[in-house]
Structure 1
Amino acid sequence: MSDLAIGIDIGGTKVAGGVLDQQGAIVARARRDTPHRSKSPGVVEDTIVGVIEDLLVQVRREEVLAVGVGAAGWVSADRATVLFAPHLSWRNEPLRERLSTRVPVPVYVDNDANAAGWAEHRFGAGRGETHLMMITLGTGIGGALVMDGQVQRGRYGVAGEYGHMMVVPGGHRCECGNRGCWEQYASGNALVREARSLLLANSPVAHDLLERLGGEDQALTGPVITEAAQDGDQTCVELIADIGRWLGTGLANLAAALDPGSFVIGGGVSAAGDLLLGPARETFARELTGRGYRPMARILQASLGNEAGLIGAADLARSEVLATP
């Protein structure tokens, strides 16, 4: 093996890493929990370095070209500074510089959705697509745009915040401070909010779901709703379909602006598969501007799962090193 790269995926309570070969296969893995769920920059940095060290002992160090770090947050255009990470105490954190003093290979930092989008473009559902948009549906909505073999990060590095397009003026309050953001209608949080409203109202249509939860509405999560829908719970099927229709509306807006060839839908909510994507495709076809007179983008389910972030972070870092004269 040669031209290996390390990818790091930073989660809320853990740091996961892998060594990627040129074909996109993960040949070594490591993971460490963040101690005491601490969000301080120093503790997370120590954990990242620990994972990298764990990986370097599993392969020949001289074959590792670079380390790529995927972070949930805004990353500067030069891929060096985490401008803002909502779930960590990072504000203008010079992460690349700090890690570079402790890691023996070049380090690059990127937004986690950018990394996932690149992975799907290179090795996953969007392979071969020249104009790809990645949409990640988790607690919120993230995204990435890959055009002609390049991740489009925007002038300041913070492109891809599609979840904060306002689709309902005066709608639900978003944690970003605005109202009516897309992620308030087409995310995992939106799915759970709508299901919980039925539970709290003691709606008879939510009886089976409450029974599945053992009577504990606080145990409600997106995966539980998805599992119930896949088992045939019609209320949960309808809840996911509602999310899918909102997804289709947002995709139609994005297609009008950017005209991609494919949308790749990832994140935890995408596990619902066609229960989500079927309604999304129907709404997209109905609301797309110029429908009937233009080619329609494909709407695909992501194929790389939870490892897309570290795969993309590693491959982007390797690409950067190989492109440097």
Structure 2
Amino acid sequence: MHALAFDVGGTKIAAGLCDDEDRIIHRWRIPTPHDPADIDAAIAGIYREAKGLCESGGTVGASGGTADSADRSGIGSIGISACGNVTSDRRTMSFAPNIAAWHDYPLADTVEAAIGHECPVMVENDANCAGWGEYVHGAGRGSAYMVLLTVGTGLGGAIIADGKLYRGAFGMAGELGHVAMVPDGDFCGCGLRGCAERYISGNALERFARSAVRRYPDRAGRLMELCGGNVDHLRGAMIAQAVKEGDSLAQYAFDKIGEWLGRVMAQASAVLDPELYVIGGGVVEVGDVLLGPARRNFDRFLEAGAHRPHARIVAAEAGQDAGLIGAANLSRQVTAG
């Protein structure tokens, strides 16, 4: 049976129809509706389109892409990856920072009702889906104890323990972006201060680079050129371009988030002791520019580091598809069990 996976964000909904080996054979991408109540209807619409695709064995032209592997086996499960806290039964969004209406919102029940209860629905946190996708089909293949850290707008996390996704007693485990790193530090969107994602994220990269430009204007020529002379317009893509050109201030900004990333992994190892860290998200596209300082500082801050094995630290491999792949695979397991 096929699985239909959704990745619901604040601005877009990505969807993929996956075969029984989690290969994405058809894709959809639509803007997230302005009214959160319309998200269920949008998901139901894509479900009906995907169902028709399976029944016809052909293509669906409206949303693009050809699914030559589609057949009449139908859709056996729906997996929804969403940014926010998901209850332990994988049915309800208890809190979603980007979708205000998703507070104690019975997302699985509502979607099942919208599609006429034709197919079971599973909901999971987006970082957990991405982590599971990397574990089953990405950089985590062959490991048993793995931690994914996604460095994007914020810092997401997922924990694999003994080959299973670790969710904790209430489904809230893996929020490594909200480990307190700096007492009375910068305010975080979660309401706390000094959280890790305030120092390890695309936003943090931009803050570190802007601070460096203001402190060392005589060395900021390239970054100022890229941002049109207005440091407030300096963005992550510009910093990544500058660091590839050898710019020292851009390197400083990546060194800073790499240092904090190493610190977080060292703290996580004191609790979880994984064999592998997989680093994903848009910021990691610079490769060893970020992973190099992260590895050095992991070694530096690891408890009893001279007397224990060190986890490997590698870049993610599944890319933007990790969340869809993970949601599809998990939905099969959860709805079958």
Give TM-score scaled by structure 2 length. 0.90
Moved over 4 A (4+): 199-202
> What is the aligned partner in structure 2 of residue 23 from structure 1?
21
Letter in 2 for 1:26: I
Q: Which residue of 2 aligns with 1:85?
A: 96
Instruction: Using the TM superposition, give the Cα deviation of residue 215 of structure 1 relative to its aligned residue in structure 2, in angstroms.
Output: 2.3
Q: Which amino acid aligns with 1:50?
A: G
Quote the residue 2:68 is aligned against.
Answer: none
**Is 1:301 matched with 2:299?**
no
Q: Is 1:51 aligned to residue 46 of structure 2?
A: yes
Q: Which runs of structure 2 are paired with 1:167-178 in the superposition (5 Å)?
A: 167-178=181-192
Pick one of 80, 90, 110 that aligns with 1:98: 110
**RMSD of aligned residue pairs (Cα, Å):** 1.6
Structure number with the bigger relative contact order (C-alpha 8 A, sep ≥ 6) is 1
Distance 2:215 2:254 in 1: 19
**Secondary structure at the residue paired with 2:205?**
helix
Given the alignment, which residue of 180, 184, 187 partners 1:166?
Answer: 180
Match of 1:249 in 2: 263
Amino acid at match of 1:5: A
Q: CA deviation at 1:105?
A: 1.2
2:293 to 257, 279, 286: 279
Contact 2:51–2:74 (8 Å) recurs in 1: no
Distance in 2 between residues matched to 1:63 and 1:46, nearest whole Å: 20
Instruction: Tell me the CA shift for residue 163 of structure 1.
Output: 1.0
- Is 1:207 the counterpart of 2:253? The answer is no
Most deviating of 93-102 and 201-210: 201-210
| Identical positions, percent | 43
Q: The residue matched to 2:27 in structure 1 has which SS? A: strand
Q: Among 87, 109, 114, which residue is 1:76 paired with?
A: 87
Partner SS, residue 5 of structure 1 = strand
Q: Point out the more displaced range, 228-237 or 214-223.
A: 214-223
Q: 1:131-210, aligned counterparts within 5 Å?
A: 131-199=145-213, 203-210=217-224
User: Structure 1 residues 66 and 291, CA, compared in 2 at 3 Å: closer, same or farther?
Assistant: same
1:64 matched residue in structure 2: 75
* Equivalent position SS for 2:307: coil
1-structure distance, mates of 2:233, 2:48: 37
Unaligned runs of 5+ in 2: 56-71
Q: CA deviation at 1:56?
A: 2.6
Helix, strand or coil at the partner of 2:103: strand
Shift of 1:199: 4.3
Aligned residues: 318
Distance 1:66 1:47 in 2: 17
Q: TM-score, normalised by structure 1?
A: 0.93
Counterpart for residue 119 of structure 1: 133
CA contact (8 A) 1:29 1:55 kept: no
